[in-house]
Structure formats: C-alpha cells, structure tokens
Structure 1
Amino acid sequence: MTETIPTQVNGHAKPNISLIKFEPEPKPDTVPETPAAVADKPRPRRRVRIDHLRRVVVEAREHGTYRAVVRHGSYLYGGARILTRRAWDSRTTARHERMMRAAEAAGQEDVARDWEQRAYIFRQSRHRRRMELLQLAINAPKAIGSATATGIGALLILGVLIALGTEDTSDIFTPIKAVIQFVTWVAFIAGVIWDPLLVALPFIALAGVWAVGRHRQTAPAWALPGDPEQRDVVPDEGAIIRALGNLGIAPLNKALKEGWQPRWVSPTTRSGNGWHTQVQLPLGVSVEMIADKKSTLAHNLLRKPVEVWPTEPRDQAGVLDLWVADPGVLTKPVPPWPLLTEGTTDFFKGVPVALNARGEQVIGRLMAANYLIAGIMGSGKSSLVVSLLLGAMLDPLVEIDVHVLAYNSDYDAMRPRLRSLVKGDDDEHVVAAMDTLRRLAGEVSRRGQELERIGTDTKVTREMAERDPSMRPRIVVFDEVHELFGHPEHGKEAKELALKVTKKARKTAIMLLWITPDADAASLPRGISKTVSHRVAFAINDHQGNDAILGTGMHKNGYSATTLVAGEDVGTAMAAGFGKTPGLIRSYYVRKEAGVDEVTPVVERAMALYEGTAAPEAPAYAPADHLADILTVLGHETKARTQDVLRRLADHNPGEYDGWSFRDLKRVLDDAGHGEYKTGGVMHVSRQRIAEAIADREDTPRDGDE
C-alpha cells in the first residue's frame, strides 16, 4: 500500500514523497497436527543418530557372531582378572584385609582379630621363605659343584666295578659315556619340541584363562549362548544378587541403581545338600522384607519356597543368612527311621526324630524337654509325635500316657505299650484330661521334694530312676489340646495347671507334649510357647500363629512356616530348640496304613524290652562319640583351630553339637588327655593326640573284661 505525504523545506514546496506501508498477512486458521504429520516431519539430526545407534546395538546383540565375540572376549578378560586376583591374594595379605573388614563390619571382633593374627603369620612365613631363597642363591654354586663331583665319583666307581667284571679297562668310562648320550638325546628331543612349544605356550595360557572365565561365567547375560534369560541352578553370588534385585523391593532396587556393592560376610559355599551364604544388606532393607518375598525369591533361584530359607542371624543384625537347597532334595522321601528294625534308646540321651535341611540327623531330647507342636490338618504333625513316642518306648523305664481330645486312630497301634490312652472330645474326656493334669501337678511337687531330700539340685538321672520306680521317666501327651484350653468350664484351670507343670516338670523326668492345629491366643496359653524347650510349627496359615508357636519375631527374622503347604510339605516343619538356632526339619515317617504296618513291630520290640523278654544282646542306639566325631571333622588335617572344630562339629551333627561352647570342647579334650595345644598363641586341636586318645580308650579293658 502506497501513501503520499506533502512536504515543505524552508517554505518551498517539495515533491510529494511516497511511503510504502507493509501490513502483515492474515494468519491461516490453526489446524492440529496429526500423528502421521508429526512422523513425517523431519526430526533433529542428533535424535536420529541416537535412535540409529540404539537400533544398531540391539541388532548387533541379536547377531550370533557379535554375541560370540563378546562372550569369548569376556571370558578371556574375566579369567585374566580372576587369575590375577588369585595370584595377588596368594602373594599378599589382601585376602586377610578383606576378611578383616568384613568381620569388623559385621561386629565380629574375635573373627577380625583371628584374621589379623593369620595375616601376621602369613607375613612372617613369607619373610622366612624369602630369606631361605636368598640363602639358597648364595649356597647354590657350592651345592651344584658338590653334587656334580659326587655324581662323577659315583659313575667312576660304577665304571671300575664294570671294568673288573669285564676285565676291560675301557669300561671305566662307560657309565659317564651313557650319561653323556642320555643328555644328548634329551637335548635333541628338547630342540625338536622347543620351537613348537614356544609357539603353543601362549595359546595354552589363553585356553587356561578362557576356561576360568567360562567356568565363572564372566560374560554378560545377553551374550551367553542359548536363551539370555536362562538362569543357573547354582545360587552363586551373581545369581543371588540378580534374584534379590527382582523382588520388587524399592529400597533394594534404589541401592542397586546407585551402585551398591554387596559385602559378603560368608561367600557362597556348599553346605550339606544345599548352598549357604551371608550378605550384609544395604540401608533401608531388612531381612523381613526379603522373607515376605520368599516365594518370589525361590522362583528367581529356580527353587520351591520350601527349598529357600532367608533368615537373620541372632548375633548379626542387618545380615541376610540364606540357605538354598538343591532342587527337589526336600521333596524326596526321608530315609527310614534308624530304629525301625533294631536298637534300644535311653530317655536321658534322646532319640532320632528327623533330618534337618542339610540332610543331617536331628536328635529329639526327652529328658528336661517339653514340646509344643502345631500345624493345620494334614501337615504331618503325627509323624514327629510317632517318632518321639516310639523312640521313647524302646527305653523300658519310660511310662507314657496319651489324651487325644478327638476321635482318631494315630495312637491305636501303640496302645499295648501305653500306660493309658483316652480318646474323645466329650466332657468326660475333658474331665479325664483335667484329672491327669492335677495328678501331674502333685507328681511334680512330690518328685521335687524327693530331689531335695536326696540332696541334689540337678535333676533325675538314669541311675536314680533304675533304683527308685517312683522316679521313672514319664511322658504325657495332650493332643488336640485346644479342646481342653478352650473348654468353657475347665479351660481357665487347665491353662494354669499346664503352665505350672510345664515350668516345673523338666528336672523331674516328666515330659509333656502339647499338640494342636490351632495356634491362636484363645486356644493356646501364651506362656506355653515361652516355657517349652522345643517348639515345632508345621504348615501355619498366618504369621501371628507362626510367632505364637515359635516365638515373637520369628516370622520377621525369616523363621516362618507360613510358606509350608499342608498335604504337600507333609512332615516338614520349622522348629526351634533342636539346636542353637531355629531351622527346617523333616520328620521320619513310620508308616501305619493299609497293607503297610511299621509301627506294630516296633511296639512289639518295646513290649519285649518292657517285660524283660528281649534278647540281652539287643543293640542300643549309640549316642554321639565325641572323640570319633572330632577325628572325623579334622579329616586329613594335622591340626585345626578350636573355633573351626566347633563349627565343623555343629555342621556334622547339629542335634548334638549346635549348642556347644569352647568350655564343652575343652572338657572333652581334657578328659581325653589332649591338653593345651597352641600354635602362634591360638588354641588348636591335634589330630595325632585325638587318634592316640581313641587308641588308648580302645586298649583300656572295660568292666567285666578279663
């Protein structure tokens, strides 16, 4: 558009000046862009490059050749790192320093001091070896000259003898010529293979490094052959961290993203029929969080929930103690009961009742013990009870009374050896159970007074029971006891009497078994679970019931029977009291079913023992032989630290040694004449002294021997 403006300069008219004005063009109506239009628009060049690079990386990962190159290269690199670290650890105290830091982080000052002492001994030994090498370098020329002169002299003497025999003086040098020819042949053979060997050595070394890396799976998961998501059944450190990282625990995931490096208090090692490890958890992550995800953890480790047990050690807060069974080992049948066909028992030493998770035998104490056994119907409570009672019956001193506040046939086959068996859930049966409880309360008081009169402040012994029939061991079973404690008329008195008898009966050789499918406060007095020595939880529906049986906080610390399935994990339970720490047990199963009766023959043997008609040479169930067990755990080692011996004994037979201290071990060693044996200021156990003690014991004539 043009506009004319008249102008004047100094009063004179000037030509008009035309100005051009530009007006903005009207904006078209805004139309929203469609997804297709957005896709067709050119993207920034940087974004295109990133997307292209990502696509190339993904395609390369999927390509078999690229994956093979990365895999085998990672094997070489990882194997070299592992071998280098091993060589460094073998030459320095790096391993000792790592173990000391781990022990300090776990608050184990004694273990840290032990590793510090080991490091000192290692440095002293290394210094001594170096000095010996220096001395050897100084003495080597003289030693080589002496050896050469001696060898030549021996060959000349041999040549003289040959010459005398052949009457030919030229044979004097025959041995020397033979040695020279042998050396010549060796040099010739070495010259032939030397060049090929030099060429092959690097490849042999690479093959060894590659084998180490392949064994330790140092390649990334996506480069491994087959399915990249395939998992290994061996729960090594890598598998455990991957399993923990896929539990969906937010604080743990955050720690892993921030580069958390796990501190292994105890690396993954073989333990019985499974694997054991201990790892310190990061901040904000508790063992309870992991225990709540036990099913997922088991899935991640290719196990069933019953095969994975995450717990927290009593003396190591914040540490995950993980035991993982071999796949399927806990679903296999339990071996036959050891006393099924022969043997007698001793009430005061216990009977075999189960296997622990590691496949080792569990001994159930009878003397100074009381049991609380719970689990929903079909979980296998009777299997443990039957093993306990049948074992007790094989001691002729034991008297057994059974009250079953229901109608079942679990105890019918044992009736001939029972002193009494009362079955039923009517009022008359509840009254009979109350009468037994009242008599038990009086019996406990009477036996306590008798112990006081005798002048002993300990407990009833076998010698005392054999001498006085009124002090014989007694076992009283109350099955389906919730019917008794929940009775509207007698329940309150029953709870009071039960607590009173349970607290006072242990020293008097009276043992009580409380059995119930219910584990709530209404059907079970809270004080019972606090008082009994042995608590066994078969399949339980909730963690409140679990803690009512095993004790407060057990579910939180990972000792939980809530993951056991009734009808599937029959006879499997979480138990406390059989060792220093709670753990999984699998009770023996003595069958009594259609076509198979293993209970009746045992009862018949028990009756023969009770009536005195059994053969006098009937073998007895052998208690633990402490010296033989110590010799077994020592293996081929000439000596071992007392702390290591205690740990190995607990692994060898937890039922016998799980609660042992240094004082118990010292008592056995002193009785055997072992005496103090120190190396570097640390107490050790000598294999030779233990073997000599066993030999001396076997040579000593027994009572009655000529």
Structure 2
Amino acid sequence: MNPTDHNDTPESTPETTAESAQESATPAGELATVHPLRTRPDQHESTGPADGESAPQVVEGRIISEYEYRLLTDEKAQREWRYAEYRKQAVWLARTTRTAVTHDRTVSTLKFVGRNTLVYPTLGAGVALKRWRDTHGSSRYERMMRAAELAGDHDKLADWEARDVAEKARRHDRAMDWVRSPWQLAKAAGAVTVCAAVLLLVLGLILWVGGKGEFLGPISAVIDAIAFAVWFVITYGVLLVTGVTAGVLTWLWNLGRTSQAVPDLFRPAAQRNLDDVEITPSIVVTALRDLRISELRKKIEAMEDRGAAMLGPIRIAGCGVEFDIHLPSGVDTEEVKRKRRKFAENMGRHEHEVFLTTPPTPRTVRVWAADSGELDKPIGPSPLVTDPTLTADMYSGRAPWGMDLRGDAVLMALLQCHLLITGLSKQGKTASLRALALWLALDPSVRLYIADLKGIGDWRMFKPVAEKLIEGPTDSHCIQATHMLEWGVEEMERRLQAFDGDKYRNGVPRELAKPGGPFAPIVLLVDEAQQAFMNPAKDDKNIPFGGQTSKSRYFMAARKIHNQGRAVNVVLWQGTQDPTNDNLPKLVREGAHIRAALALGTESQSRMALGDKAVDGGAAPHELRSGLDKGTLVVSGEGVPLPAGQPSMTVRTHFIDGDDSVTVIDRAVAIRGGTTTEKTQVEAPPERDLLDDVAEVLAGDDVKATDVAARLRRLAPSHEPYADLGATKLKEALENVGVPVRQKDGTLTVRVRHLVNALADREDEKGS
C-alpha cells in the first residue's frame, strides 16, 4: 500500500486524547519519538464490565521511520515521492527502449527490412530510369562528351558528338513516323476488321452448308470470347494487378540489389567484407575522390558519370586486378602516386598490395591491386628443383627466377649482362643471386669464379663446378677477391686483343664460347661486395685494395670489367648490403646492366640501387616490407622481361634451399662431364716457338713490327706472352734470339732475310 493510501475524512480523524499526549512523555520517549496516529471512533467506546471498572485496552501499531511518518502526514513529501517515482519509471523506460533499439538483432532486422523494402526498390527504379533515358534519349552521349572534354581527349569528343547527332536524327525519324502512323493504323485496323468479318462469314457459311453449325456461329463465338475476356479481367483484375505489381517490384528490387550503390548504413556486414575484397569501378572512383586532391575531386564531381569514364577495363592479372586511370587535365600523375597509401586504404587494401606505375600514355596511372592476403602466400618451387631434365644455355636460354605480380614466370636473359643485387640484411639477397647462378651452373660452357665474403657456406655447394671459390669475411679474403677480379681484367684484355673483328663482325659467336673455347663465358661473382669496397688493407706499394677512388684496386678492376668485359663474355655479378655511396660507388652501380633491389630503407637507397629513371617510373623497393617481403625484389635493366613501357617490375623470386642447391649442382657436375675438383687457375697454354710463329705470319714478306705483333696475337690468342706484345717488346724478343729489327722508312720492320739467317744459325747450332 502506498504512503498516500489513507482516509482523510473528518469523521475518521478525531483529535487524540490527553492520555495519548501524556504517553508521549513516558520514559519510552527517551528511546524514540512517539507520534500519535489517527484512531477510529470505535476505539473510544467502552467495552468494560458493568461494575464501572475500566478494562485494559489493546493498542495496534507498527514502528515506522521519520521519513515514512512524513509520507503519511505531509502532502509535500508525498508529492516529492510521486515525482521521484515518475523519474525512475522514465529512466527505466528510456534505458529499456535504448537497449532494445540498439541491440544487434534489432539493428540487423531494421537494416534488412529497410534494405529490402525501401533501398533496393528505390535504387532499382533509379537504375531502370537511367537505362530508359540512355536508351531513348541523348543523355548517354552528353555524359560521354562531358567526360571526354574534361579528360582533354578531343578525338573521343568528336566521336561521341557524331554519335549524338546520328541518334538525334534517328529519334526525329521515329517521331515523324508517329505523326504519320494514326491514319495508317486506322486504315490497317479497318482492313483487318473487314477481312476478319469476311473470314468469319465465309467460315459460318461453310459450317451452315455442311450442317455443322449456324451461319453466325463463328461471329457469336468471337463475341463470346471477348465477353469472357472482359469478365475475366473484371473478376480477377485485382489479382492480375497485384501479380504484375509484385513482379515489377521484384524486378526493381533485384536491380537495386545488384547496383553496388547501397549506402553503407544499410549494408550487411557480409557484403561490406565482400566489397573490401572486390575492386569495382565505384570503389576506385570513390578512392580517387577521397585522395584530398582538390582539382581531381572537382573534375570527378563535374563529370556526368561521376568519374567512371576515367577508368579503363578492370582485368584479372594474376592474384589481383589491373586497370588504367586516365586522369583529367590539370591533375599530375605524381600527385596520385605520392598518395599510394591513402589510395590503397581507400580501396580496402594494404599499401604493399597496391602498385602504381606510369605507362606510356600521358596522364595515365596503371594500378595493380592484389587480392587481400595473396602477396603473403609463398610462390611455388623453382623449375630447377621440380624439373630434373632442365638444362641451361647462356646464349639462347633464359633463367627461371620467379614470378611477377600477375603470376607469370620471370625468365631472365643473362648473356653478357653485368648484375647488381642489393638490399637490407636478411631479405634474401644471397638466395636470389644463387638462384640465377644455379641455372648458369647447368651450362657447361660457363666458368664460375665465386667470392663469398660472408663465408658461412652459402656458396659451398658450388665447389665442384667453380673455377675458384673464396669463402671468408676477413681482409685477406677481400684481397683474394680483388686478385680474382684483376685476373678477370687480364683475361678480358687478352680476349679483346685476340678477337678477330674482321672475321666475326657480330661479336663473339657461340662457336667460340663452347665449353673449353677461348671465349667461354666467365662470371665473376662477389657476394657481400661491400666488404671489398670497405677493405682498409694496402699492398706493398701502399695502394689500397678497397675504396671508391681510382687508386682502389677492387674499384678499378670492377670498373674495367664493366666498361669492356661484356663484349668478350667476361661479366661481373655483385651482391651488396644496405647500399651507400661508400660501400657501393656510383660508377660501379651504374655499370650493371641488370639492377635489382630487395627491401630498402629509404627512397635515396632505391635511387642508388635502381637509378632515378626506374624510381621516377614507379619502382619503390623502399616500400617493400622488411622481413615480410623476403625474396621479393624490384628489378630493371637489360635482360629483364619488362612490360611494354615499364622501367621496372616486381619479382617474387624462387627460394632454393641448401639441400636442393646441392641436388642442382650434382646435375651440373654430371652435365659437365663429372668434373668434381675445384680449379684454381687457368690451364697452362702449350709452348710456342717465336721464330717459327714469326716466320708463319711473315709469309715471305717484310712486315711492320706492329703488324707482326697483331698477327701473332691472332695466331695464338691464348698464348700469354703475345697478349700484350707491341713493336718495342717484339723488337727486344727477336733480338734476343738473333733477329735484328731495324727501321725502314722510319718504322720498325721485321725483314725476312734476317729471320731466315736466324733460323739457319739455329739449325747449324743444333747440327753441331
């Protein structure tokens, strides 16, 4: 019972007696305040015995608090209590309502109902209206003309303008047909009616003559059919209208459901996740609009199609999609490429899953976007491992290195190409370089000279096939690597002097580069080459082995090989770590034909590794994820199967572990004829006789000393004493064996009679 539920009538509230007042002053009042309550009248009637003695009275009561007493007696307290109850009930109602309204099930239900009853049909009606306008009006042509004008493409503008004029002419002809059609329709309807009546009369006559029916029977049947159709429409018209309406609404609902334009507020979670995976034109245009490039946003909003005309077709390319964006005039491609991260995130991708490059077409950005998570999956094994019958030919073959972003195999042409691979530590540099070297090992004509300046066994499996293998990180190992390159320089110079350019006008042919041939390909491979550049040791003449100047022995040897080595099949491959101008000098890195970079730290390092042209064209190894994109590199240069107009490409290289590498080397040993011993030097050439060789090249005529020296080099290109032979050295050598060389017309000349006398004297000495 509420505190306010009591009787306030005067009859039920007589004043308390004096005894009650006295009771309030009893000792019990010292423990609590006693308040007299209203009593009923019958409590004051005497019920005692007749002798007049007062009987004991029974007092009913309960203990209440001061607050409860005020609620029973004070109207202000009662009013405050009621207002407090009202507030509690209002708070409970608001909290319950908010919980019910914001519950996931309520929200999903409301979205479902709103999506299917309001959004989809409305969007479908918009799509249907737009299709009708495009089909029966010129809005499509006007939209495309505006887009072409904004894009600055005058050829497309003229083409769409011509189409617009032709369509307007066709619509005019149709309108004129409608002007002429009423009279034609009336004549046709009259003719059809007369023909039908005559046909029915003839049919009735035939039936009447044959006794099969009445003369007007067919006409009556047609009239009955018309009456039935009218009755059917009147009777079932509501159902027909309802069915047609339901069908139209269902069609509009389906159009809206597939329109890809549902507001995010009404989209279910599953569809939002799907949109994050699929790249659609609307997503791309929205991503471009939200790049915060004001000029681009204005042009997109000014386009009738909201920017759809900027996009080329979205094509499936490997584990992602590829498309071109034709930017409107006033927007630079570099502005978009600088916002790669925001563009990727706007499309629901990570930065490393979107690559932006610049194709030859002006004001165009080519976009490749991977499917979510695909780049984190490993690629398949190398064909070197899976195909035991695979062989190699440096002249005509291509090395399988990995896969590009489209999933196509990357096959490298390595003939006469210097190579440089760089990157941060532990990104797969050695494995990427070794994958190419393993392919070369399968070509028996290739001679490998390897310096591993880390020395932990990454290249030890090459010992059976390498002419020379240096392993170790010390200064002495760097000195050995320098000597190896200097030997390569000497071999290069010998080959340059011995090559017969008159006979071989198109460079070194394959017949001279066969196994054991004088021009067999030589690959000088230095892994961790930064160690050699930073080597502080000096030789006995105080010339430094390392360094970046013309006094550095390693630097000069690398430069000489880069300058001329490729012409005679002497190439240099280097792998370096964390490139700087100190550990990778500019002249050396720019001398490589193939330049590749794994993950790097800064854009400046990317420019060091690949060059300004590649980086300006979109190459960005500094945007690869260190530790996550191991074995993924950006490569440019000669021998790389670059897409048309692209300065670089991204390659995910095959990883070949140590055990598989040993298997490949075993096959290489078998192909090379079972040679398993390490060769440390070039085999010694056969002994030659100077007098006999000079007699052969003179051929009975007096010849200038310089021409004799040249003929001797061509006669024996592998004979080292002839490699650097000149007129002065030839004069000294001939005089030592008794052939004087004198000047003739101011030129040192070797005379036949002097040579014949020397040969005769030698024969006399042998005879005696």
Give me the whole-angstrom Cα distance separating, in 2, the residues matched to 1:397 and 1:363. 20
Alpha-carbon separation, structure 2, partners of 1:442 and 1:85: 79
The 1:537–1:467 alpha-carbon spacing in structure 2 relative to 1, beyond 3 Å, is closer
Check whether the contact 1:396–1:610 (CA below 8 A) recurs between aligned residues.
yes
Q: Deviations over 1:315-336 (max 9, x none)?
A: 2343221100112222112111
| Secondary structure at 2:384 match in 1 | coil
| CA pair 467-590 structure 1, distance change in 2 beyond 3 A | closer
- 1:485 maps to which residue? 533
What CA distance in whole angstroms lies between the structure 1 residues aligned with 2:401 and 2:249?
54
Give the C-alpha shift of residue 103 in structure 1. Answer: 9.1
Q: CA deviation at 1:345?
A: 1.3
1:305 partner letter: E
Please tell me whether residue 429 in structure 1 is matched to residue 477 in structure 2: yes
**Structure 2 CA distance for aligned equivalents of residues 85 and 347 of structure 1:** 63
Alignment of 1:239-388 (within 5 A): 239-247=283-291, 261-262=306-307, 263-264=309-310, 266-281=312-327, 286-313=332-359, 315-340=360-385, 341-342=387-388, 343-348=390-395, 349-388=397-436
> 1: CA distance between counterparts of 2:495 and 2:617?
39
The 1:88/1:541 distance shift into structure 2, 3 A limit, reads: farther
One-letter amino acid matched to 2:363 = G
Confirm or deny that 1:507 pairs with 2:507: no
Letter in 1 for 2:466: L
> What pairs up with 1:570-589 in 2 under 5 angstroms?
570-577=630-637, 578=640, 579-580=642-643, 581=646, 582-589=648-655
State how far apart, in whole Å, the 1-side matches of 2:398 and 2:445 are: 13
- Following superposition, the deviation at residue 210 of structure 1 comes to 4.6
Indicate the residue corresponding to 1:540 in structure 2.
600
The count of aligned residue pairs is: 482
Residue in 2 aligned with 1:552? 612
Residue 356 of structure 1, CA deviation: 0.3
Matched residue SS, 1:506: helix
Deviation at 1:247, TM superposition (A): 4.6
Deviation at 1:86, TM superposition (A): 8.2
Structure 2 counterpart SS, 1:505: helix
- Runs of at least 5 residues in structure 2 that lack an aligned partner in the other structure: 1-105, 171-231, 537-543, 677-768
Q: What is the DSSP-based 3-state SS (H/G/I as helix, E as strand, rest coil) of the residue aligned with 1:611?
A: coil
Mean CA deviation greater in 439-448 or 468-477? 439-448
User: Structure 1-normalised TM-score?
Assistant: 0.59
What residue in structure 1 maps to residue 579 of structure 2?
A: 519
Q: Is the 8 A contact 1:474 1:511 kept in 2?
A: yes
Per the alignment, residue 211 of structure 2 pairs with none
Instruction: State the distance in 1 between where 2:626 and 2:475 align.
Output: 30
Q: Distance in 2 between matches of 1:85 and 1:425?
A: 76
Could you give the per-residue CA deviations for residues 140-168 of structure 1, whole angstroms, max 9, x where no partner exists? xxxxxxxxxxxxxxxxxxxxxxxxxxxxx
Trace 1:652-671 onto structure 2 (pairs within 5 A): none
Contact 1:61–1:67, Cα closer than 8 Å, also in 2:
no
How many angstroms does 1:541 deviate by? 0.2
Judged with a 3 Å threshold, the aligned counterparts in structure 2 of structure 1 residues 512 and 381 are, in CA distance, closer, same or farther, namely same
- 1-structure distance, mates of 2:381, 2:133: 47
SS in 2 for 1:603: helix
CA RMSD of superposed structures (Å): 4.4
Q: How does 1:442-481 map to 2 (within 5 A)?
A: 442-453=490-501, 455-466=503-514, 469-481=517-529
Report the AA paired with residue 370 of structure 1: H
**Structure 1 counterpart of 2:278, one-letter code:** V
Moved more, 277-286 or 597-606: 277-286
Residue 271 of structure 1 aligns with an amino acid whose one-letter code is A
SS of alignment partner, residue 453 of structure 1: coil
Structure-2 change in CA distance of 1:406 and 1:210 (3 Å) = same
The answer (yes or no) to whether the contact 1:294–1:308 under 8 Å persists in 2 is yes
Q: Which moved more, 1:526-535 or 1:376-385?
A: 526-535
1:519, 1:548 within 8 Å by CA — same for their partners in 2? yes
CA displacement 1:558-613 (0-9 Å, x = unmatched): 31011222321111111113214212110001122xxxx21111110100001169
**What is the rounded CA distance, in whole Å, between the counterparts of 1:456 and 1:335 in structure 2?**
43
Shift in alpha-carbon separation, 1:610–1:405, aligned structure 2, 3 A: same
State the 1:281 CA deviation.
3.6
Contact 2:435–2:654 (Cα < 8 Å) also in 1 = yes
Distance 2:133 2:436 in 1: 52
Could you tell which deviates more after superposition, 478-487 or 443-452? 443-452
- Aligned partners of 1:396 and 1:316: how far apart in 2? 44
Q: CA deviation at 1:307?
A: 1.6
> What are the Cα deviations for residues 352-406 of structure 1, in whole angstroms up to 9, with x where unaligned?
0110011110011210322110111111112211210111111111111111222
Q: Which residue among 564, 579, 585 is the counterpart of 2:624?
A: 564
SS across alignment from 1:433:
helix
Q: State the shift of 1:410 in Å.
A: 1.1
1:412 matched residue in structure 2: 460
State how far apart, in whole Å, the 2-side matches of 1:446 and 1:101 are.
64
Residue 189 of structure 2 corresponds to which residue in structure 1? none
Find the partner of 2:278 among 213, 223, 234: 234
Amino acid in structure 2 at the alignment position of 1:266: G
Is residue 220 of structure 1 aligned with residue 268 of structure 2?
no
Asked if the contact 1:70/1:219 (under 8 Å) is kept, the reply is no
Distance 2:355 2:462 in 1: 36
Q: Distance in 1 between matches of 2:297 and 2:142?
A: 30
Q: CA 1:221–1:480 in 2, change beyond 3 Å: closer, same or farther?
A: same
Q: Can you list the C-alpha shifts for 1:226-274, whole angstroms capped at 9, x where unaligned?
A: 4897643112222223334445556656766777954525232222221
Q: d(CA) in 2 for partners of 1:394 and 1:405?
A: 24
- How far apart in 1 are the matches of 2:137 and 2:448? 61
Point out the structure with the larger strand share: 1
Give the 3-state SS of the residue equivalent to 2:434 in structure 1: helix
Letter in 2 for 1:589: F
Displacement of 1:97 in angstroms is 7.7
How far the C-alpha of 1:502 sits from its partner, in A, is 1.6
Query: Hey, what's the Cα distance between the residues in 1 that align with 2:298 and 2:673?
Result: 70
Matches of 2:142 and 2:411, distance apart in 1 = 42
Tell me the TM-score normalized by structure 2: 0.55
Are 2:561 and 2:571, in contact at CA under 8 Å, matched by a contact in 1? no
Amino acid at match of 1:304: H
1:605 aligns with 2:667: yes
Secondary structure of the residue that 2:450 maps to in structure 1? strand
Residues in 2 aligned to 1:81 and 1:507: alpha-carbon distance in whole angstroms: 69
- Max Rg structure: 2
Question: Secondary structure of the residue that 1:232 maps to in structure 2?
Answer: helix
Letter paired with 1:275? V
The percentage of aligned residue pairs carrying the same residue is 25
Q: Distance in 2 between matches of 1:508 and 1:95?
A: 61
Q: Which residue is equivalent to 2:48?
A: none
Contact 1:222 1:228 in 2 (8 A): no
Q: 1:496 to 1:102 in 2, by over 3 A?
A: farther
The one-letter code matched in structure 1 to 2:651 is I
Q: Which residue of 2 aligns with 1:530?
A: 590
Equivalent positions of 1:107-256 (< 5 A) are 207=250, 210-226=253-269, 231-247=275-291
> In structure 2, do the counterparts of structure 1 residues 60 and 363 end up closer, same or farther at CA, with 3 Å as the change threshold?
closer
Gaps of 5+ in 1: 1-58, 128-191, 615-706
2: distance between equivalents of 1:212 and 1:390? Answer: 57
Aligned to 1:591: 657
User: Which 10-residue stretch deviates more, 373-382 or 263-272?
Assistant: 263-272
